Structure 1
Amino acid sequence: MVLAVVVGVAGGLWWWESRDPLTLPASACWSLVDRSDLRALAGDEGGTFTVWHTTGGYDDDGSRFTPGVRHQTCGVKGNQRVLLTIDVWGMTEVFFHGEYELGHRPARADPERQLDLGPDLKTWVAGGAVRLAFRCDNLVTREQGVVALEIWVQEDGRISGVKSAAAQQARLDIALRVAKKSAEWSLPCLNKVTFPDRATAPPL
């Protein structure tokens, strides 16, 4: 049962509420999250599920996907926790090099593990998060100093995150799906970026 659809133009916010994650609209998260993803991420969670889009610095609701031009977010929340947050933004040369090309990552309580998805992709997995980045040469974003795109897919595991292999795989699948569309949609990458058809999440 759908409870509400609300659009807030001034705040750049769009959301939708439902009693079942599988009845959330197909347009949610730019139509890049499917029913199997939501079921894996929700686990036994019940109650009301909420989807929202936001966009930084623009007076629209964030549902129009324009990767690289602005920071965009889509999220899905249950009663107790955030099941999913997808962030997509552009990276400058200095930021991309510092985050992904120095050959090391800082030690953390939940250490990140690098995942090999081919020479064009930089991918790190840590607990309930996947980070994926790739170089993207585009005539519009080039003028803004953007040389790469980064996708974060994560949950808020501080409360009662789902620590299952299915949830981890769903996060990786979503990250790869969003990355592929980011290279193709609206402002396509002029350089060739090779994506795998499928990737397997590392063991938890």
Structure 2
Amino acid sequence: MVVGVGGGTWWWASRDPLKLPVSACWSLVDRSDLLPLAGGSGGTFTVRHRSDGQYDDGSRFTPGVRNQTCIVDGHQRVLLVLDVRGTDEDTFHSKYELGYRMPSWGPEQQLNLGPDLKAWASVDATRLAFRCDNLVARDKGAAAVEITVEGGIRTADVKSASGQQARLDIALKVAKKTAEWSLPCLNTVTFPDKPVAAALPF
């Protein structure tokens, strides 16, 4: 009887394994980044990209010049929505220096990631921004880069400490690569080595 129950459990788990893309989001996010967001869920997840509101193949990553979004979803679940966009001086100042918030964002708390990064976290999302002086982006009216990492819909681990840490890690990873080589930023942007989950407010 015990063997039968155990065998049935194994069969149920094996018929819906977790399949994550090896590389995602302009090759900036990998399977190890996504795994904490999946929790104990199964299913096959794939990657979609949008640029300025239109779906594309994700081959070009030009933050600050274009508004770009990466979505990892599947099996009627959204595992990750990563949005990278340029923002003008007024928006950066009001949202990140003055702390203006939309009521629809829900409870948020500011994170201390050093002098160059402005970051806020909620129970299911992390957003951060930093000034980035780049001639091409400046022509587009962008004075800073804003990165938003949202947790998945119908994903059990979305509110866990590991899920929150994963979103923060992804946001910082994408921000660092953006500042280093995607634009790059002419000004120096200092990043923390490894913020830990204790820095998160929820």
Is TM-score (shorter-chain normalized) higher than 0.5?
yes
Corresponding residue for residue 179 of structure 1: 175
Aligned residues: CA RMSD: 2.1
Partner of 1:61: 57
Q: Does residue 25 of structure 1 match 2:18?
A: no
Q: Sequence identity of aligned pairs in percent?
A: 63
After superposition, residues 1-80 of structure 1 pair within 5 angstroms as: 20-22=18-20, 24-26=21-23, 28-56=24-52, 60-80=56-76
- Aligned equivalents of 1:131, 1:45: Cα separation in 2: 25
Measured against aligned partners, the alpha-carbon deviations of 1:33-59 in whole angstroms (never above 9, x if no partner) come to 222222211112222212111111678
Question: 1:142 maps to what in 2?
Answer: 138
Deviates more, 1:62-71 or 1:146-155: 62-71
Could you say which residue in structure 1 is the equivalent of 2:115? 119
Return the alpha-carbon distance in structure 2 between the equivalents of residues 94 and 203 of structure 1. 27
Separation of aligned partners in 2, 1:63 and 1:25: 16
Identify unmatched segments of 5+ residues in structure 1. Answer: 1-18
Q: How far, CA to CA, are the matches of 1:150 and 1:109 in structure 2?
A: 16
Structure 1, 178-187 or 32-41: larger mean CA deviation:
32-41
- Cα-to-partner distance string for 1:90-116 (whole Å, 9 max, x where unaligned): 000111111111145456673101000
Q: Which structure 1 residue ranges, 4+ long, deviate > 6 Å from structure 2?
A: none
Q: Secondary structure at the match of 1:82?
A: strand
Counterparts in 2 of 1:109 and 1:138: CA distance versus 1, 3 Å: closer
After TM superposition, give the deviation of residue 160 of structure 1 in Å: 4.2
Q: Say if 1:104 and 1:53 are closer, same or farther in 2 by CA, change over 3 A.
A: closer
AA of the residue aligned to 1:111: P
Deviations 1:57-112 (A, max 9, x none): 67852332111110111111131321101000000011111111114545667310
What are structure 2's unaligned runs of at least 5 residues? 1-16
168, 193, 200: which is aligned to 1:197? Answer: 193
